[in-house]
Amino acid sequence: MTGATLGLWACSVMPLSAGGGWALPLTVGLALLLTLLAWSDLRTGLLPDRLTLTLLASGAAATALLDGARPLDHVLGALAGYGVLRLLAGLYRRVRGHDGLGQGDAKLLAGLGAWTGWQALPGLLFLAAAGGLAALLLARMRGSRPDWRAPLPFGPFLAGAGWLAWLYGPLLAG
């Protein structure tokens, strides 16, 4: 059901002729990959390399196929996506003494950067972080007492924010 819903959403946003006819099939493939990644992280707490690296490679292929794509922006997006989350993970580990972000999250953001370009990353990260906080606050308001030290899968929030950035462009525009 989720895949069909995302496919219909993509059809409503993207004309069939966009990107030389490649945009819609690529978007449907992106929806499938992001759904699998989010589901895996929710179920197991892991973002498998076979999915994150497929996202990265398919982002590079999409950039090559789509008219008007600027490859350097997408390469920088992949590098910055990975680098920023690895840097944050290292800082968190140094301050707190334990891991707070997995390497899979960094690989997921690298793949999203390959799809969306570096310009989308600030808004994408903001939206993903806001979504994670909102989920915790909503659980708290519903009477659940979430353990603030328990791991919260960040992949679904990154995937959702990445989907919005792909469909609508960078989320924070000046």
Enter the pTM of the model: 0.89
Q: Please report how the helices 121-141 and 71-96 are oriented relative to each other, as an axis angle in degrees rounded to 10.
A: 50
Residues 99-107, mean pLDDT to the nearest whole number: 92
Whether 42 and 156 have beta carbons less than 8 Å apart is answered as yes
Over the stretch 132-168, which tens digit does the pLDDT of each residue have? 999 888 888 887 776 767 778 999 999 999 999 999 9
Of 33, 37, 30, 32, give the one whose Cα is nearest residue 66. 30
- What token pair was written down for 42? 């929710």
Whether 131 and 114 have beta carbons less than 8 Å apart is answered as no
Whether 122 and 172 have beta carbons less than 8 Å apart is answered as yes
Give the list of residues 6+ apart from residue 120 with CB closer than 8 angstroms, or none. 77, 112, 113, 165, 169, 170, 171
Rounded distance between C-alpha atoms, residue 112 and residue 55, angstroms: 7
Residue 57 has pLDDT above 80, yes or no: yes
